[in-house]
Amino acid sequence: MNRLCCVVALCLSFVAIDTVSAQVPKLTHLVPAAVAPGQTVDVTVYGTDLTNPTAVWTSLPAGSKVELSKDVAKNGMVKTQVVYKVTTPKDAPVGTYAIRLATGTGASNVRPLVIDDCPTLTMAANTTLATAQELPLPVAVEGACSAESYHYFKFRGEAGQRVAIDVWARRLGSVLDPVVRVLDAQGRDLAFGDDDEATEADSRCAVVLPAAGEYLIELRDIRYQGSAAHRFRMRVGDLPLVSTSFPSAVQKGAITRVTLLGADGEPDQSAEVTVPADSVASYISVAARKPNGKTSTPISVPVSNLVEQVEFEPNDTLETASPLQLTGAINGRFDLAKDRDYFKFDAKKGQRFLMQGKTRSLGVPSDLLLRIVDAKGAQVAEADDVGLDEGTLDFNCSADGAYFLVVEELLGRGGANHIYRVEIAPYAAGFALTLDVDAKTKIEPEPFNPPKGGAFTTKVVATRRGYTGPITLSVEGLPEGAKYTNNVIAEAKNDTLLTVTVPETLEPGKFYPVKIVGKATIDKQEVSAVASTIAHLRAQLNGLSIPPAGLDGTAMVSVGPPAPDFFKIEVAQPAVMPLLTGAASVKLKVTKLNKFDDKITLKLASLPAGFAAKDVTIEKGKVEGVIELTGPANGVEGTIPLQIAASATFNNQPKTIVTEVPLKVVRPLSVAATVAAEGKSPALKVKLERATGVTGEVKLALANLPRGVSAAAVTVAADKNEATVPLKVETNAARGLHNVVVQATIGLKSRPYRADSAPVSVALTK
């Protein structure tokens, strides 16, 4: 659909945001859920945490305006609702669009916003037949179903008048599963609508009135549930109940007449569609309207780059097979039950093609069975789809010859809206990507709302086709500076938990639409794919299997306030490396904050050449960690600056704190000596100072002893640091003052290290 995504910034006075308790906005529903082309309507957005909106994003057509309504008192200051003035151009195509809003805490989920040319009425109290609400046709009535209740509406009609009822609920993201009945004045059933094949849980039905008079519409939830969240928009009038087109796509650069199909037996509607060759639209909105009708019904028709082919009946046998051009797309239909279509093509040995069936993604209830048979009718390949998993047939031709593609409805169903599409392309190795929704892992739902400078995590799943190598992921749409963790789906693996740390430049309260893209080099060619977001869209829209066209593939990023600190770190014991040991340790202590008590990893962020250290983990419940370092044994005494990075993750937010730690390279041993005694029996008192981690026996010896003086060898035990060394004085010893040096020797790493004391003056007397 040719849409311009509108982003409007809102100027409001902000209140301070509590970064701990503030929640991102969440949208529940819109009132009204639709706006008319060329009109200005106040749309109230309901939800939670809507205070102080900063921007609004929509996928409305170019020329639309969305601004905070100035006519509402305290608008933008109420937590549960905010009102926007929505203006659409006169030529705005009817159809389903989308809206989000942002606050300083992040972006909201998506909610459908419809452009509808059917007048809107609000439901009144109408839970009894006596209070049935009168409807002027055509009209769209909006409200919410009550629990264990029926809601009644009445209208007047003429004999032969056609009245169609189309209940929009799941298509608006509502939890309501509607059931609708049409009754005459005597209470007799004329029409009934439950789940429609084309609209899933939503109800549709149509009736031709048998006589002039008053009629009733009864609406309820199929499970008799109800609440403010059980919203609906019920369109009533002579409106077409179309759901798809034939052909199912329109080709760029061509004028295509499409037939708009429905299931209520009405004559087909048709429209002429022109798509410029340079169009960037992936879908275009096409509306069906009855002759002289006052309201229309839209469908989204894909825009194609392929050569579009249309089947021609009869082609239900080998002999009547339609010619098939490879490559391109086939548009066919099962007019009758058990219809079977044959398409003939020639292929040579070694040629390989992929044939992708499409029905459910087009709003069609059919399930396809695709087969390839040879000229004798013998099957050589087969693929069927199951629900939303539309099948792909991989045909690898084993011999030259004529072949036939056979297309069948898996359950043998047929009818006006049982069309199909098969896209055919030469086989090429590649992959498809999906952002998964997995409650068992710590991944986040879209939209991604990291704190400023923080991160978000999402699970990316690859479906491979003939390629097993690595796939590198990146995010398009973010400013420079994004950092990635686990951004490669490894060889032979099918998924990864991608963590994206957003740039600090992202401003809170703004929208950043992004696409997660995977790239790989396959057969010397770069191949890329955009990750689908459809699983997240379905979760946001209460299981709607086919979300509004054009939304798949785009995710929203909006940052909130910075994440609060959840740990601090300090050096409990400095790093000291004695010479010759080549070893040191540093003890760090953490303080855990804001109920954080998970593991913290310690890593030396920068190391000089020749140094090494292993990462250390401070486990849950612990507050200390010790990093052991190794380095050159022949270092130079001095101080080396180190950086230790402490990293942890809390509430999906990674945080790293870098701490400066000086590494002191020191002497392993020092010695000091004093005179313990003089005279005839002199002695020295020796004190040792060992560096951290230095142990072992120390041998003491004396140097510069005068003639006639000697000392016995003394060993200081490994657990001692003091000793007394007596001197033996001979009778012929030189008298007077003598400077003596104590030499302390210790073995380190199988090498001796000697430390000398300062000279000690010893007096020798007669």
Q: Tens digits of per-residue pLDDT, 593-638?
A: 999 999 999 998 878 888 899 999 999 999 999 999 998 888 788 8
pTM, to two decimals: 0.80
Cα dihedral across residues 326, 327, 331, 335: positive or negative: positive
Q: Is residue 722 part of a domain?
A: yes
Q: Looking at the structure, tell me whether residues 327 and 401 fall in a common domain.
A: yes
DSSP conformation letters of 301-367: EEEESSPEEE--S---SSTTPEE--SSEEEEEE--STT-EEEEEEEE-TT-EEEEEEESGGGT----
Instruction: Please give the pLDDT value at position 16.
Output: 36
Is the Cβ–Cβ distance between 587 and 625 less than 8 Å?
yes
Q: Looking at the structure, tell me whether residues 231 and 251 fall in a common domain.
A: no
Instruction: Tell which of 619, 643, 666 closes a domain.
Output: 666
Is the Cβ–Cβ distance between 169 and 178 less than 8 Å?
yes
pLDDT digits (tens, 9 = 90+) for 170-200: 999 999 999 999 999 898 999 999 988 778 8
Residue 10 pLDDT greater than 50, yes or no:
no
Is the Cβ–Cβ distance between 1 and 285 less than 8 Å?
yes
478-492, 630-644, 712-726: the lowest-pLDDT one: 630-644
Element (H, E) at 407: strand 401-409
Q: Place 5 in a pLDDT band, splitting at 50, 70 and 90.
A: low
Residue 384 pLDDT greater than 70, yes or no:
no
Residue 1 pLDDT greater than 50, yes or no:
no
Between 439 and 757, the more confident residue is: 757
Q: Looking at the structure, tell me whether residues 679 and 713 fall in a common domain.
A: yes
Element (H, E) at 538: helix 534-540
- Beta strands 296-304 and 250-251, pairing class: parallel
Q: Is residue 285 part of a domain?
A: yes
Dihedral, 749, 750, 751, 755 alpha carbons, nearest 10: 70
- For residue 348, is it left (φ>0), alpha (ψ between -120 and 50) or beta? beta
Is the Cβ–Cβ distance between 113 and 30 less than 8 Å?
yes
CB under 8 Å, gap of 24 or more: what pairs does 69-75 form?
Answer: 69/42, 71/42, 72/42
Structure tokens at 84: 């926007």
Residue 12 pLDDT greater than 50, yes or no:
no
Residue 674 pLDDT greater than 50, yes or no:
yes
Rounded CA separation 482/474 (Å): 9
Domain that includes residue 661, residue range: 567-666
Contacts of 245 (CB under 8 A, 6+ apart): 258, 259, 260, 261, 286, 299, 301
Instruction: Please give the pLDDT value at position 265.
Output: 61
Q: Looking at the structure, tell me whether residues 440 and 550 fall in a common domain.
A: yes
Is the Cβ–Cβ distance between 121 and 187 less than 8 Å?
no
Q: Place 483 in a pLDDT band, splitting at 50, 70 and 90.
A: very high
Q: Is residue 385 part of a domain?
A: yes
Instruction: Tell which of 115, 136, 162 closes a domain.
Output: 115
Residue 390 pLDDT greater than 80, yes or no:
no
CATH number, domain of 366, equals 2.60.120.380
> How many structural domains is the chain composed of?
7
46-55, 330-339, 551-560, 600-609: the lowest-pLDDT one: 600-609
Instruction: Please give the pLDDT value at position 73.
Output: 94
Tell me the average pLDDT across 280-299: 87
DSSP conformation letters of 70-102: TTSTTTT--SSEEEEEEE--TTPPPEEEEEEEE
Q: Is residue 562 part of a domain?
A: no
Q: Looking at the structure, tell me whether residues 269 and 224 fall in a common domain.
A: no
Residue 648 pLDDT greater than 80, yes or no:
yes
Q: Looking at the structure, tell me whether residues 408 and 325 fall in a common domain.
A: yes
Rounded CA separation 599/548 (Å): 43
Instruction: Please give the pLDDT value at position 389.
Output: 58
pLDDT digits (tens, 9 = 90+) for 137-158: 999 999 999 999 999 999 999 9
Rounded CA separation 686/697 (Å): 14
Residue 481 pLDDT greater than 60, yes or no:
yes
Residue 356 pLDDT greater than 60, yes or no:
yes
Instruction: Please give the pLDDT value at position 137.
Output: 96
Q: Looking at the structure, tell me whether residues 297 and 315 fall in a common domain.
A: no
DSSP for residue 451: B
pLDDT digits (tens, 9 = 90+) for 528-581: 999 999 999 999 999 888 888 889 999 999 999 988 889 999 998 888 988 888
In the chain, helix, strand, coil percent, each to 5?
0, 55, 45
Q: Is residue 33 part of a domain?
A: yes
Q: Place 18 in a pLDDT band, splitting at 50, 70 and 90.
A: very low
Instruction: Please give the pLDDT value at position 700.
Output: 95
Is the Cβ–Cβ distance between 57 and 4 less than 8 Å?
no
Rounded CA separation 82/108 (Å): 13
What percent of the chain has pLDDT above 70? 95
Q: Looking at the structure, tell me whether residues 363 and 456 fall in a common domain.
A: no
For the chain, count helices (H), then strands (E): 1, 64
CATH number, domain of 38, equals 2.60.40.10
Q: Looking at the structure, tell me whether residues 439 and 383 fall in a common domain.
A: no
Residue 3 pLDDT greater than 50, yes or no:
no
Q: Is residue 461 part of a domain?
A: yes
Instruction: Please give the pLDDT value at position 15.
Output: 35
Instruction: Please give the pLDDT value at position 547.
Output: 87
Rounded CA separation 640/261 (Å): 78
Instruction: Tell which of 179, 214, 237 closes a domain.
Output: 237
CATH number, domain of 447, equals 2.60.40
Rounded CA separation 318/96 (Å): 42
Structure tokens at 750: 């199988």
Residue 20 pLDDT greater than 50, yes or no:
no
R_g (Cα) of the chain, nearest Å: 40
What percent of the chain has pLDDT above 90? 67
Q: Looking at the structure, tell me whether residues 371 and 402 fall in a common domain.
A: yes
Q: Helix or strand or coil: residue 413?
A: coil
Between 663 and 197, the more confident residue is: 663
Q: Looking at the structure, tell me whether residues 269 and 318 fall in a common domain.
A: no
Contacts of 3 (CB under 8 A, 6+ apart): 59, 60, 61, 62, 97, 281, 550
Q: Looking at the structure, tell me whether residues 12 and 83 fall in a common domain.
A: yes
State the average pLDDT for the chain: 90
Please state, in angstroms and as integers, the Cα–Cα distance from residue 17 to each residue in 101, 104, 105, 106, 510, following that order: 17, 8, 8, 12, 16
Q: Is residue 18 part of a domain?
A: yes
Residue 266 pLDDT greater than 70, yes or no:
no
Q: Is residue 1 part of a domain?
A: no
